[in-house]
Structure 1
Amino acid sequence: MYNPKISIIVPVYNVSQYITKCLDSIYGQTYKNIELILVDDCGSDDSMTIVQDYLASHVSIDAHIISHKKNRGLSAGRNSGMEKASGEYVYFLDSDDYITSDCIEALVKPLNNKKYDVVVGDYQYSNGEKSDLKLHNEELSGQQILDSYANGLWYVMAWNKLCRKDFLLDNNLTFEEGYLHEDVIWSFKLACKAQSMYVINNVTYNYLVRSSSIMTSMSIEHDVNVYLKAFDKIIDFVKAEGRIFGVSEYKIIEGKKCGILYSLLQKKEFGLYNKYYKDFYLQRYVSPLTAYRKHIINFSYLLRDLHYCVPAWLGRIYKRLFFNMLYAWRGKKIEGAVW
């Protein structure tokens, strides 16, 4: 029976209401070869006091605390945890979420047959919504992994994935510090680099949906800027890796960009659409005409992306007209909608 050491990495920042439940779920694991790495990211509440009191009275797991000197964000917390991890596999858990008692045991089980780069479990939302995982008890390899990601068959979030540590380090799959939506960049790279993956149908993760107000124009604009920065990093990666003519790479990048622009139009954020269209336009990394000739995209996607082949002022009009014809007037569901 394969019994690898698993490093559970939990960045901690202002989660005093939730951290005890998170820790209870870790210490209640049926799988025992675990180390816990908690990263103190300098929050302003008493989360770390709760953590230290908890660890003082619970000694069944080898636990370590890493302390940042200042708040650096979720990405830095995960990276610091990876540096400290001594396990063969690492598992990322957000400190306001919790895992099922058999989570690690269920994710380790497929490793008895093969040392997969990644094992993915199912999850559930705290508000009762279903997860967006569409694969169950399936083994994927090579190009299948990226293609399935491009088709939205497994989720972008970094948590609830058991990852072979050497695979992450060998491929420089750390998290981009200073970025929000860091999982978008990380998961894209992981999908490109992983050679073996197994997806189980067990619900092993409980994701907390915090109550929030309706998105305002200001918060949407901030989100747009975050995505623009993420696309810059993803496109840089695609170019550096010689993937500019990849079918799934194109589908992921241009599909998400369209989803963002169309979401702005759907929410009648016409000012933001006009303001940021050119930024998305300038992120073109391959001509849609070239993509069509190389059979990267079909004719419908060519029509969608022809706006890149005209000046930006005209492309902005074309894109909005295409949205109206396909979505607003016909009521078709937007692929990759964001807000």
Structure 2
Amino acid sequence: MHSNPKVTVAIPVYNTEPYVAKCLNSVFNQDYNNIEILITYDISSDNSLQTTIDVLKNSTFPYRIIEKKEEDKGLGKARNIIIDNFQGDYLFFLDCDDYIEPLTISLLVKEAIANDADVVGASHRSVDENGNIITLFQYDRKRIFDNVMLRHYIYVENGYYSVYAWNKLYKSSFLKENNIRCIHNIIDDAAFSFSVIKNNNKIVLLPEITLNYLIRSSSITNAVMYKDVSIATANNFLDIRDFIYSSNMGKNDLITNCSNLDAFVFSYISTVRNSYKSVSIPYQDKIKLCKSAFITPEIPLTNFFKVLKSKKTSLMLLLAVKVLPFRINMLLVKLYHKIKRV
């Protein structure tokens, strides 16, 4: 890899007219000079496209805009279109309502080249619309992992790893040779990140905060995770679990057992917390979803106590779901929601 590789900063744009200028200006302000900007645009109800075009006129970097068809709507499809069309040696995803610090790209490129890394991820903060810091999501120190070390750190040691696709620099050859893509239109980060974790040769994680993640009430994440959920979205939670189960099939080591347990807990909690309270899903469908979410992975006796040591609470949940009758499990779900309303 040469010393000044091209970096594609890819920004899916959809219904973010008030925020896209700040996002784009944060890219213009980078101290790294070999950047291309790739925009994918979903048909929006506001003036996002024209605002984006107007702001891009001030760019010193080359840029392209791909206007998506109606049938290609969704963030997952936007990211797949980006993967199919970006021209850089590296790819950096940036959501159109977030913004990055001026040294972001140069820092990530420097670490990628120095360590011959497939992926370099940095830390981020969540902020409100006034720029006030809400929460820091920060790695405690610089860490360099090979594949086995990273998977052990995440799944067995329960180490912090940001599941989001953004705020990471991906080597182009790594993404394309491993055919790493999103599998859903929405809720795309978990499966995408699992594929990255599974296939990488080396990942670098940095404590420097490079991205500001905007928390706004109208965001896709809030709409999906904290408000109403459709049955299609609910099924995505289960699809992600099954995707991970399928990818881990045939392996029975400690790391894989812990990975499967994490996937089970993710789909269980997503269904119990979000799908069950949804007003869009009929009650009988909620019951079907819960039955599907209660399908547990097998933990062999040879690894049982090692998994117990690593993931005591998760394993206790698995045993409760596995041992207790479905009727009792549903009573516990109802009790959970009753307590949450108090």
TM-score range, shorter chain: 0.7 to 0.9
What are the Cα deviations for residues 37-69 of structure 1, in whole angstroms up to 9, with x where unaligned?
A: 1112222322111222222343x1011111212
How far is the alpha carbon of 1:248 from its aligned partner? 3.2
Q: Distance in 1 between matches of 2:17 and 2:252?
A: 45
**Local SS of the residue matching 1:49:** helix
Q: State the shift of 1:262 in Å.
A: 6.2
Structure 2 contact 10–37 (Cα < 8 Å) conserved: yes
SS at structure 2 position matched to 1:123: strand
Q: Write the letter of the residue equivalent to 1:230.
A: I
The match for 1:334 is: none
Q: Which runs of 5+ in 1 are unaligned?
A: 332-336
Which of the numbers 148, 154, 167 marks the counterpart of 2:153? 148
- Counterpart of 1:297 in structure 2 is 307
Q: Distance in 1 between matches of 2:275 and 2:183?
A: 29
Note the residue ranges of structure 2 that are not aligned, 5 or more in a row.
none
Structure 1 residues 160-194: Cα deviation after superposition (integer angstroms, max 9, x where no partner)? 0001111111111111243x211011111211111
Q: Where in structure 2 are the equivalents of 1:195-234 lying within 5 Å?
A: 195-211=201-217, 219-220=228-229, 222=231, 224-234=234-244
Assess, with a 3 A threshold, how the Cα gap between structure 1 residues 319 and 146 changes in structure 2: closer, same or farther. Answer: farther
Q: In the alignment, does 2:291 pair up with 1:278?
A: yes
Q: 1:33, CA displacement in angstroms?
A: 0.9
Structure 1 distance, partners of 2:225, 2:172, is 39
Q: Superposition pairs for residues 125-204 of structure 1, below 5 Å?
A: 125-127=126-128, 128-150=133-155, 151-178=158-185, 180-204=186-210
Residue correspondences, number: 317
Distance 2:9 2:224 in 1: 33
CA spacing shift, 1:108–1:173, aligned 2, 3 Å? same
CA distance, structure 2, for counterparts of residue 159 and residue 228 of structure 1? 23
Deviations 1:129-182 (A, max 9, x none): 22334342111111221233331511111000001111111111111243x211
Distance 1:80 1:63 in 2: 15
Please give the alpha-carbon distance, in whole angstroms, between the structure 2 residues aligned to 1:53 and 1:214: 29
Q: CA 1:61–1:230 in structure 2 vs 1: closer, same or farther (change >3 Å)?
A: same
Q: Where does residue 13 of structure 1 map in the other structure? A: 14
Identity %: 26
Asked if residue 29 in structure 1 is aligned to residue 30 in structure 2, the reply is: yes
Q: TM-score, normalised by structure 2?
A: 0.80
**Superposed counterparts of 1:16-165, under 5 Å:** 16-58=17-59, 60-70=60-70, 71-127=72-128, 128-150=133-155, 151-165=158-172
Question: 1:95 Cα deviation (Å)?
Answer: 0.7
